Amino acid sequence: MADPRPIKDPLPLPEPMIESCVRINTEVRDREGRTRFYSDRVLVKRGDSTLFTRAGNIVVDGVAEAEMDLSSCDSSSTDSTSKSPGNQRINDENERAYLICEEIHNAIYGSVYRGIVLERSSPDDVWQMTTEDCAIKSMCWTRVRRARLRNSSEDPQGEISAMQHIVQCLTGIRGREMSAHDIMREGKIIVPLDFIYDDRYLYTITPYFSGGEMFGLLLTNQRHRFSEGESRYLFRNILDGLESLQIAGLCHRDISLENILVDRENTCVIDMGMCIRNPFLDDEAGGPNTPRIMDHRDREANRCLISSRPRCGKNYYMSPEVSSERPFDGHAVDMWAAGVCLFMMLSGRQPWEGAQEHDPGFRYIAMGGRLARLLRHHWEIPLSDNVVNLMQQMLRENPQDRLTLQQVRDHPWMNGDETNPLTI
Please determine, for residue 198, whether its predicted confidence score (pLDDT) is greater than 90: yes
SS3 288: coil
Q: For residues 183 and 202, what is the distance between their CA atoms, to the nearest angstrom?
A: 23
Rounded average pLDDT over 130-139: 95
| pLDDT per position as a tens digit, 262-279 | 987 789 999 998 999 999
Proportion of the chain above pLDDT 70, given as a percent: 88
pLDDT band at residue 350 using 50, 70 and 90 as cut-offs? very high
Number of helices (H), then strands (E), in the chain:
13, 14
pLDDT value at residue 3: 86
411 vs 74, more confident: 411
pLDDT band at residue 178 using 50, 70 and 90 as cut-offs? confident
Q: Would you say 227 and 419 are in contact if contact means Cβ atoms under 8 Å apart?
A: yes
Helix/strand/coil (H/E/C) assignment for every residue in 339-401: HHHHHHHHHCCCCCCCCCCCCHHHHHHHHCCCHHHHHHHHCCCCCCHHHHHHHHHHCCCCHHH
pLDDT value at residue 279: 94
Q: For residues 269 and 237, what is the distance between their CA atoms, to the nearest angstrom?
A: 9
Please determine, for residue 225, whether its predicted confidence score (pLDDT) is greater than 60: yes
pLDDT band at residue 200 using 50, 70 and 90 as cut-offs? very high
293 vs 157, more confident: 157
Please name the residues in contact with 65: beta carbons below 8 A apart, sequence gap of 6 or more: 57, 58, 141, 142, 145
Q: Would you say 261 and 105 are in contact if contact means Cβ atoms under 8 Å apart?
A: no
pLDDT band at residue 308 using 50, 70 and 90 as cut-offs? very high
pLDDT value at residue 60: 43
**Residue 304 per-residue DSSP state:** P
pLDDT value at residue 284: 60
> Does residue 35 come out as left (phi exceeding 0), alpha (psi in the -120 to 50 range) or beta?
beta
Among 47-51, 244-248, 305-309, the range scoring the smallest mean pLDDT is 47-51
pLDDT band at residue 151 using 50, 70 and 90 as cut-offs? confident
pLDDT value at residue 123: 81
58 vs 397, more confident: 397
Rounded average pLDDT over 236-240: 96
pLDDT value at residue 287: 53
Instruction: Tell which residue, 389, 271, 375, has the closest CA to residue 339.
Output: 389
CATH number (1.10.1760.20, 1.10.510.10, 3.40.50.1000, 3.40.920.10) of 210-423 reads 1.10.510.10
pLDDT value at residue 299: 87
pLDDT value at residue 383: 95
Please determine, for residue 388, whether its predicted confidence score (pLDDT) is greater than 50: yes
CA atoms within 13 A on the CB side of 234: 30
pLDDT value at residue 74: 57
Domain boundaries, the chain: 17-153+190-207, 210-423
Instruction: Tell which residue, 79, 70, 80, has the closest CA to residue 145.
Output: 70
pLDDT value at residue 222: 72
Please determine, for residue 89, whether its predicted confidence score (pLDDT) is greater than 60: no
Q: Which amino acid is at 287?
A: G
pLDDT value at residue 424: 52
